[in-house]
Amino acid sequence: MNIGQAAKQSGLSAKMIRYYESIGLITPAGRGDNGYRYYNGDDLHRLAFIKRARDLGFSLEEVGKLLTLWQDRQRASADVKALAGAHVEELNRRIAEMVGLRDTLQELVDHCQGNDRPDCPILRDLESGGCCH
């Protein structure tokens, strides 16, 4: 199948597939006599793996490591678990950071009168860089 069909079936864009090839995340597809990329079932399986890993928030570097582990039938599942566990820790860190940002912004919104006066604690906070509430 061509890249458009592979993109549709994998849920990735053709542009992303070409990008993943260009950075070596996947091996470049074979080419038909017409010069178009040709993808087979194994390629689609690999693309679906990448799509799911990216959907779970893994970085491209982590996806590369996961692909290597996936293709290594002698791997230890502990290696996969360690990589996934580190990713969970990073997600938890980012979630905590987002919760803090949300809480700070909510506090600013709560203190804003939202009327026709020019005084605005939100803009005052942004202007001050958050140093002086």
Q: How far is CA 51 from the centre of its chain?
A: 9
- Kindly report whether the global pTM for this prediction surpasses the value 0.85: no
| Domain 1-56, CATH class in plain words | mainly alpha
Please tell me the distance from the alpha carbon of residue 84 to that of residue 69, in angstroms, as a whole number: 12
pLDDT given for residue 133 in this prediction: 52
Question: Cα–Cα distance between 129 and 116 in angstroms, integer?
Answer: 24
Contact 25, 63 (CB under 8 A): yes
The per-residue pLDDT for range 8-42, each reduced to its tens digit, is 999 999 999 999 999 999 988 888 888 888 899 99
- Per-residue pLDDT tens over the stretch 89-119: 999 999 999 999 999 999 999 999 888 888 8
Residues 60-79 have pLDDT tens digits of 999 999 999 999 999 999 99
